[in-house]
Copies of this chain bind each other. A is one copy, B any other.
Amino acid sequence: MRIVVAACSVDYSGRLTAHLPLAPRVLMRKADGSVLVHSDGGSYKPLNWMTPPCAVTESEPTDDQREQGVREVWTVQNTKSDDRLIISLHEIQADHSFELGVDPGLVKDGVEAHLQKLLAEQIGLLGDGHALVRREYPTAIGPVDILARGDGGHVAVEIKRRGDIDGVEQLTRYLDLLNRDPLLAPVEGVFAAQEIKPQARVLATDRGIRCLVLDYDAMRGIDDVDSRLF
């Protein structure tokens, strides 16, 4: 990891073209060749960057550039596409290199995947006598979160952390498709989420889709109990 603080101007060309006028910025060069250009604001997104795989070529400025104060030119070329970043460095305030090693990485907890896993394990929440067919049941337009067998037919479940209209639309498409399959029909829809927006509930109900509010803490609690018991 090399960090350079310098006044610079930057030109990007690739999926779009973009230009950064001359100003002081922080340049981060990572071990994998990637480069980030950060200013002292905005959010975590750099003003400009190059993602790996890429390679940096450092070159001397032309006489013209040198007259205008350019001390160094970096050309960052993506090795898979024709994306290119050209950075012209003027006054350099700092230039430091560090050895960081490989990062052990982030440990996440508590998202939609977890909800899906818990509901699959506690499939009875859909109603008595329901049995899991499979998670991520594949269809031509994408996987259904959960497919289960119910009384006299099947149940397709769409799971969201926050249930709004998009999720109901998604489930509706799956139901249209699944109900054309004589081996599955009739397929009932269940829209399951930690929180269901009123508009989504109205739309779902209007389409005969059942809404199921999931209590994440309770489901996790039961899961913990199961883990302890078995």
CB-based contact A43/B49 at 8 Å: yes
Decide: A98 and B5 in contact? CB cutoff 8 A: yes
Distance in Å: Cβ of A59 to nearest Cβ of chain B: 24
Which of B1, B32, B48, B109 lies in contact with A18, CB distance below 8 A?
Answer: B109
Residues 165 to 210 of chain A near chain B (Cβ within 8 Å): 165, 169, 173, 199, 202-203
Task: Report how far A46 CA is from B40 CA in the complex, Å.
Answer: 15
Query: How many copies of this chain sit in the oligomeric assembly?
Result: 2
Which residues does chain B contribute within 8 Å of A18, judged by CB atoms? 106-109
Cross-chain contact of A24 among B5, B98, B109 (Cβ < 8 A) = B98
Closest-by-CB residue of B relative to A114 is B16
CB distance B24 to A101 under 8 Å? yes
Contact residues of A between 105 and 148, Cβ < 8 Å to B: 105-111, 140-142
Asked whether, in the complex, the Cβ of A109 is within 8 Å of the Cβ of B31, the reply is: no
| Cα–Cα, bound, A98→B20 (Å) | 20
Q: Which of A1-45 contact B (CB under 8 A)?
A: 1, 3, 5, 15-21, 23-26, 28, 30-32, 34, 36, 38-45
Q: Identify A23's interface contact among B101, B107, B111, CB under 8 A.
A: B101
A interface bracket (residues with beta carbon within 8 Å of B): 35 or more
Residue of B nearest to A26 (CB): B1
Question: B31 to A38, Cβ gap below 8 A?
Answer: no
Pairwise interchain contact B44-A49, C-beta atoms closer than 8 A: yes
A51 — which chain B residues lie within 8 A by C-beta?
A: 43-44
A52 within 8 Å of B (CB atoms)? yes
Q: Beyond A23-B100, A39-B100, A140-B202: 9 further Cβ-contacts under 8 Å? A: A1-B26, A15-B111, A25-B103, A26-B28, A26-B100, A40-B98, A43-B52, A141-B203, A173-B203
Could you list some 18 contacts between A and B, CB below 8 A? A1-B5, A3-B26, A19-B106, A21-B107, A23-B103, A26-B98, A30-B42, A31-B41, A40-B102, A41-B102, A47-B103, A47-B105, A94-B98, A140-B199, A141-B199, A141-B203, A142-B199, A165-B173
